[in-house]
Amino acid sequence: MGYRVGIAGITGYTGVELVRLAASHPELEVVLGAAGASAGQPLSTSWPGLQGLTELDVESIDPERLAACDVVFLALPHGHAARLAPQLVDAGVLVVDLGADFRLRDPEAYARYYGLTHPCPERLPTAVYGLPELTRGQLAQARLIANPGCYPTAVTLAALPLVEAGLVSTPLVASCVSGVSGAGRSPGPRNIFCETHDSARPYGIAGAHRHTPEIEQNLGCQVVFSPHLVPMNRGMIATVHARLARPIAAAELQELYATRYADEPMVQMRQDAPGTADVRCSNRAHVHVALDAERATVTAVAVIDNLMKGAAGQAVQAMNVALGLPEGLGLPLHPVMI
């Protein structure tokens, strides 16, 4: 018998991706889908393409109903999950929060960047950050998983081997681009067609973006982070520039990355610079690193699908680890090419 799954926030982009992934996961059955809106309607009303895949009706978000599940994914705006998660965890549910409520260990940083006093700061030490490449050992015992942000996932995977080896002088510089789905499904100036088509723009620069403290928490150093929104549906590139703290040969640098990610099923090292189409709809990150010996710098690139390795796919990957299942179970490893 598999695990009974509930999804709160099921009508959003990450919620519907979780439905799609669960349908191909042999150990999961989505038994409850909840959302603040659309309650009482079939899920296929919001997403007609799901007809025949699921017959779920969307429910209102009811903690008691969610507590009857084995696993609950909270795909909700920040501030909402922290009010639901404690009750669910106490009921024995494995909770995966795809929002920001449990990512930052410092409640003051949460208040500064998200504009809210954290509803349950006493629970922050119990949450395990859900990046298996960084916290796999801790995830094996997790009951509350803080799913990473999309930008922090990409930047961390690009820079982690350099930082772990003590090779870089800080701050790091991370220039990133994201598809428009990263802004969510609710229409607004940042994601309506006429504002995004045929246009790219930076936003949240100079330390203003909410993912800045999460990236710095992961890497343990300062990062100059500059995100950009570009006119594509999905996909993310993180290009990280680092000044070397000591000399390193190009072959040694390549070996450093190859060794660090050799046993990581969701990271593929590339000899050439990858593009977002290489990971579209897959849960893999493609990573490339290059040495500029003349300028004593390293450039590392990671590409991910922001809705997969940057959101829903990573949530399932972390859940698999927490449940003792094969890490890649139910996850697509190869892209939709065209």
Please give the pLDDT value at position 297: 97
Domain residue spans in the chain? 3-147+310-323, 150-304
> Which two structure tokens, joined as six digits, stand for 220?
């343990």
The pLDDT tens digits for 200-223 are: 888 889 988 999 999 999 999 999
107-114 and 212-219 helices cross at what angle (nearest 10)?
Answer: 150
Q: Are 124 and 118 in contact (CB under 8 A)?
A: yes
In 3D space, the residue among 233, 240, 337 whose CA is nearest the CA of residue 279 turns out to be: 337
Burial zone of 53 (CB within 10 Å; 0-12 exposed, 13-18 middle, 19+ buried): middle
Report how far residue 83's alpha carbon sits from residue 143's, in angstroms, rounded to the nearest whole number. 16
Distance, CA of 86 to CA of 88 (rounded, Å): 5
| Rounded percentage of the chain residues whose pLDDT exceeds 90 | 81
For 13, phi and psi rounded to 5 degrees? -60, -45
pLDDT tens per residue across span 295-312: 999 999 999 999 999 999
Amino acid at position 50, single letter? L
Q: What is the mean pLDDT of residues 19-34?
A: 95
E strand residue ranges, 219-294: 223-229, 236-244, 267-269, 285-292
CB-CB contact of 305 with 181 (8 Å): no
Angstrom CA distances, 296 to 63, 114, 293, stand at 54, 37, 5
Ranked by mean pLDDT, the top range of 183-187, 197-201, 207-211, 243-247 is 243-247
Q: Tell the CATH topology of 3-147+310-323.
A: Rossmann fold (3.40.50)
pLDDT value, residue 184: 67
Instruction: Compute the average pLDDT of residues 92-105.
Output: 97
Fold matches, 3-147+310-323 and 150-304:
no
Looking at domain 150-304, its CATH superfamily turns out to be: Dihydrodipicolinate Reductase; domain 2 (3.30.360.10)
**39 in helix, strand or coil?**
coil
Res 53 pLDDT > 90: no
Active site residues: 150
State mean pLDDT over 152-163: 98
Distance CA 96, CA 100 (A): 11
Reduced to 3 states (helix: H, G, I; strand: E, B; else coil), residue 13 is helix
Residue 250 has a CB neighbour count (10 Å cut-off) of 13
